[in-house]
A and B are shown apart, each in its own frame.
Chain A
Amino acid sequence: MMTRGYQEFEGVDPRSGDIGVYRIAMARIDNIGRYHPGWKLHDLFAVASICAKPSYGFEGLRDIDDAFCSKERFVDLPDPDGICVVGIPRVRITSQGKRPPPSGYTFGVVATKRLEIWNWFWWASDPIENELPLNHQQRFDRQIWPRKQIS
């Protein structure tokens, strides 16, 4: 079933391992389509691929640096229950056709706890595990997928 005003992708909910429905508001797609480089819209293919088969999942978007004052100063706290799924898609589909994904980078999809996607990026990879983003330890609160923790 489609929800009006959203593009939906079936994928793995990293909190449970069950199949979940990720959604992107058409208004957000419109914003990206109008004002972001065209490459980003093509990366919707990568969004679908990583949501369907994430290599790692995290909960808690830690957007407050420990060095910066207390959380009380924040007007809107970054989503403590936000989700991020990451991985490297097998191929990257661009306006020039299928290409290998950029070497040394991993792809991340950022969503709210209701699995509403609001952004996606290529991030530099962790030097040891290339499907993880660099400094993932500082970016997220908890690794929740796969269940086996990163050592």
Chain B
Amino acid sequence: MATETDILDVIERYNRPFSPTPTYTEVGDCIELFFCDEDFHADRVDCWLTVYRSFADNRVIGFMLKNVKTLLSAFESLGLDCRVVRQGSKVQLVSLIAFVPWVEPAAVERNPYRDLLNCLKTHPEVQEVDLARAA
């Protein structure tokens, strides 16, 4: 069983400079991305989106988009394609977020979607994620 020392060992292994990198996780079928290295809490918006907000000022500093396979399937049935290359495993994050109101019309009224799209605009270095490189 993990002891405090085991946990400290794990933490010390990852003492590194932070760099925003979107990742896909198979177990939760979700994409996660943090824009900065800040202490945060999770704010569930709906069954698709959870935004991560800074404890310091409550602004959006990251997000988790869940049920990604279902979203992609719903988009495809509507003729919406957010893949970088047709049939490829890389998807464009801005399109993925912006298309959600097509399957969840209420999302268009929800500010976190707008806030998140604004965050993504200011981070051109993190525009796509490869679903084939699941954690």
Determine if A7 and B27 form an interchain contact, defined as CB atoms under 8 angstroms apart. no
Q: Mark B35-68, 1 if CB is under 8 A from A, else 0.
A: 0111111111011000000010000011010110
Contact of B11 among A25, A44, A48, A139 (CB under 8 A): A44
- The CA of A25 and the CA of B134, in the complex, are separated in Å by 13
Is A102 located at the chain interface by the 8 A CB criterion? yes
What's the tally of chain B residues with a CB closer than 8 Å to chain A?
A: 46
> Is the contact region of chain B dominated by helix, strand, or loop, or is it mixed?
mixed
Q: Which residues of A contact B6 (CB under 8 A)?
A: 7
Contact of B41 among A36, A68, A112, A124 (CB under 8 A): A124
Q: Which residues of B contact A (CB under 8 A)?
A: 1-2, 4, 6-7, 10-11, 13-16, 18, 21, 23, 25, 27-29, 32, 34, 36-44, 46-47, 55, 61-62, 64, 66-67, 69-70, 72-74, 103-104, 106, 135
Q: Which residues of A contact B (CB under 8 A)?
A: 7-10, 21, 25, 27-31, 33-39, 41-42, 44-45, 48, 63-65, 67-69, 73-76, 78, 94-95, 102, 105, 110, 112, 116, 118-119, 121-124, 135, 139
Please name 7 pairs of A and B residues whose Cβ atoms are closer than 8 Å in the assembled complex, sorted by A. A25-B27, A28-B135, A33-B11, A34-B16, A94-B39, A112-B27, A119-B64
